[in-house]
Amino acid sequence: MGKISENKVEEIKEAHDIVDIIGNYIEVKSSGSSYKALCPFHNEKTPSFMINKEKQIYKCFGCGEGGDVLQFVMKMENLDFIDSLKMLGEKANINVELEDDISDHERQETKLLYDINRKAGLFYYRKLTSSQNKGLQYLKNRGVGSNEIKAFGLGLAEDRWNSLLEYLTKDNYSEETIEKTGLILKNKKGDRYYDRFRNRIIFPIFNTRGMVIGFGGRVLDQSLPKYLNSPETKIFNKRKTLYGLNLAKKNIVSQQLILVEGYMDVIALYGNGVKNAVATLGTSLTKEHGQLLKKYAKEVVLAFDGDEAGVKATLRSIQILENEGLKIRILSLGKKEDPDDFIRRQGKDTFYRRIKESPNHIEYQIQKIRDNYSLESTEGKVDFSKEAIKLLQQVKSPIEQEAYAEEVAKELNLSKESLLKEIREKNQKYTNKPSKDQGTSLGSKDRSRTNYLHTMPDIEQDGHIKLEKLIIKFMMDNEDRIPFIKEHVDIEDFSIEKHQKIVGYLFYENQRSTRDHELQEHKELLDEISSLDRQEGEIQKILEDYLYNLKKYKLIYRKKSLEKKQQELIESPNFEKEEVDRILLKIGMEIMEINKELQNHQSKEGRGQDE
């Protein structure tokens, strides 16, 4: 990953007066040689937030927050170190470059894409706000006022083929460059360009630094598609972008973000005082979205539509958010109502109350399972209990597991103990499969088998993990060859816990229907694995590369462990010198053997490459 030089960091800091920067956010008053203000990070009536202009630092004597201009921006904007530097750099017209091999041409092209999107956003905004038009009337009918139009930079694409194209080419942007933003398209003949967005309300899409990276458009007539987004470009990736996050990150309530389905839900909530909502861009929630949400919040409220599609989207999203360690609540508003309708009808206070009363993701899933069965019949109770047990197996905390088991047991008129016994017995089923040489279990992972990954450089880690996925794909596609893989690799050799679980089922569960059912929790990962192109290498080559890395980095890990043990012995006061010397000699001999083995291993690889 690239980094920013210390000289560049200092240059950016020196370009700004901390008093001016802080004054953009809060009211600052002179107080002798310093400045004071009400602290923006906690509630207070008497100013205890002091700014030292000479030292270019701030300190709150109420809550203890303090730092320089960069730390203030990081805290206020909820940005990481690099994004804060970029934001301050842009204010001072300083180009913030990561120390990577990026050509001047690439940098210039990226800047052009941002410039074109910014000018397109202003063009659409002026078309919407300069006079009465059907776009304004549509937004008025939807309850969207001037404040929301301004905050979200909403615009209008006229019902013309080349309105934006003419505007941008007059500003000396080439058609080829504009095409790279996705704002224009070539006709079928390939001899002329036209605007992608026509006769639509325009929703600019901003990154977390407030820069326009793409657009969405909603039709003003009955044509299809109803919603249209920019294609992915060098600066726009739907999998990594959440609509409204540029505003929501400044208005997070109780470390909580609300995830809704569309633009209008975000805008309606914002206009009615709920300013911490975001939405995906017409895609299912992705792992990257989950990571982005985790960066800004500890809890996510899923507030999707109550129809069947909304329920499916909720269940898919739960797994992704759970994998990121986020707390999850599910806000159900009814089958025929979405957040847009609800907030306009019921208001902010009722909306927040419903969030407070909403179930967490486990309670929600139990309810959905319950809805599928009649608990009046024995068969229905048995089926419900089986599904509930599968769900509760995934709960990591024993305390939480017990609490939910108690609730399910009450409904089924069973003892909590019998339900817990069933849950824990099933949990052991695939975590106690012995490896062929050591008999270790997945539940008590052999550290030399799992920690070796951390000795790899980041770029090699990514490649090694991909090899694991290709091996799993090979087994999924060729079940008759699973015994061949088992001869060469153990479950515990796989470096990712989820990979181990999948491989455990592939190795030991012969009933495909049972296996597929048990692996539903890893559906997203399995879909990703299934989509991999195995033509990148035949299985023999893939396996050879994998086993080479496996042996090399296990040896390196073992060597590092021994070196650490050496140092601990040298520093330990609890052993006689004679005993320490004896153990150190033994460890030293083992390290020498490992060094020889590594040398032989790497020389073999070198010969293989020469051939």
N residues, the chain: 611
Omega before 225 cis (within 30°)?
Answer: yes
- What CA–CA distances, in Å, run from 89 to 10, 92, 93, 94, 312? 11, 5, 6, 5, 43
Only one residue has tokens 């999107």, namely: 117
Statement: residue 255 has pLDDT above 90: no
Highest average pLDDT, of 294-303, 395-404, 413-422, comes from: 294-303
Structure tokens at 428: 């052991």
From CA 41, how far away is CA 60, in angstroms rounded? 9
- DSSP letter string, 191-237: S-EEES--SEEEEEEE-TTS-EEEEEEEESSS-S-SEEEPPPBTTB-
351-390, pLDDT tens digit by residue?
Answer: 999 999 999 999 999 999 998 888 888 888 888 888 888 8
Highest average pLDDT, of 7-21, 185-199, 509-523, comes from: 185-199
- The answer to whether residues 5 and 99 touch, using CB atoms and an 8 Å cutoff, is yes
Cα 595 off chain centre by: 40
CB within 8 A of 330, min separation 6: which ones? 301, 302, 314, 318, 358, 359, 360, 361, 364
66-116, pLDDT tens digit by residue?
Answer: 999 999 999 999 888 888 998 898 888 787 776 554 567 777 888 999 999
End-to-end CA distance of the chain: 33
pTM of the entire predicted model? 0.60
347-362, pLDDT tens digit by residue?
Answer: 999 999 999 999 999 9
CB within 8 A of 61, min separation 6: which ones? 48, 49, 50
| pLDDT confidence bin for 276, thresholds 50/70/90 | very high
From CA 401, how far away is CA 397, in angstroms rounded? 6
119-129, pLDDT tens digit by residue?
Answer: 999 999 999 99
- Determine the pLDDT at residue 577: 66
